[in-house]
Amino acid sequence: MRAAVAEMPHVTLHARADASALVAARAGLNARADVPRLSLTAVLARVVVEALREYPRVNGRTEEGEIRLYKRVNLGVAVALEDGLTVPVLRDAQEMDVDAVGAAIVDVSDRARSGRIKLADLADATFTLSTLGAHGVEFFTPIINPPQLAILGVGAVRDEIRLQNGSPVAVPVLYLSLSFDHAAMDGVQAARFLELLVAKVEAGGPDRPAAGGS
């Protein structure tokens, strides 16, 4: 990480998203019978994958001095350990629906915390998701994992008072922080991805799984 900070021109953009529809979508998904419950991280991870597929400018790596962008999404998910952090990878996450993403996150997190993670599970990520909302953090500056081009930091959902039809209403707001390599893209390109992600969060979250299966 020291090398990333020293050698890569980090820039971080912050945004707020109305999470009302996302929270409602998660509640609806978790109301289904005989299906494992989904964390907010899992639901948001699927939204991130959909946004990366639609706008792949931030989904890539610097390899042999060249910037390479990918249609496939190998999503790194930061997992806190007792003595540090590790980032297992959900390979070809674009092929997973939200249930599969949720199951994969539980699997890699359990294996990482029990010391069963393999080096192959940590390789080839094209983008990373890091969440600190469970610790009450709102905004933060996530550090890019080289050779990736960007990382998304997700903070806590907080109620904010907003005016709706002239009346104050409590709205759940999600805090998003996108760090990107300014040598690989400019601020407008990064902002377009963050803008798209906010729009997808506010539109209601991920595509729903097909009935009867994941």
pTM of the model: 0.93
Reported as a single tens digit per residue, the pLDDT across 169-185 is 999 999 999 999 999 99
Read off the pLDDT band of 1 (50, 70, 90): low
Question: For the ranges 6-15, 170-179, 194-203, which has the lowest average pLDDT?
Answer: 6-15
Q: Is the confidence at residue 210, as pLDDT, over 60? A: no
| Average pLDDT of span 195-203 | 97
Read off the pLDDT band of 207 (50, 70, 90): confident
Give residue 2's pLDDT. 58
Read off the pLDDT band of 63 (50, 70, 90): very high
Given the residues 92, 107, 182, 207, select the one marked as catalytic.
Answer: 182
Residues with Cβ within 8 Å of 88's Cβ and at least 6 positions away in sequence, in order, are: 76, 77, 79, 108, 109, 111, 112, 117, 121, 122
Instruction: Output the six-digit token pair for 166.
Output: 């002239």
CA distance to 42, 108, 110, 120, per residue, from 113 (Å)? 18, 9, 5, 16
Domains and CATH numbers, the chain: 2-203 (3.30.559.10)
135 is catalytic: no
Given the residues 92, 107, 110, 186, select the one marked as catalytic.
Answer: 186
Residue 22, φ and ψ in degrees, nearest 5 = -65, -45
* Mean pLDDT rounded to a whole number for the chain: 93
10 is catalytic: no
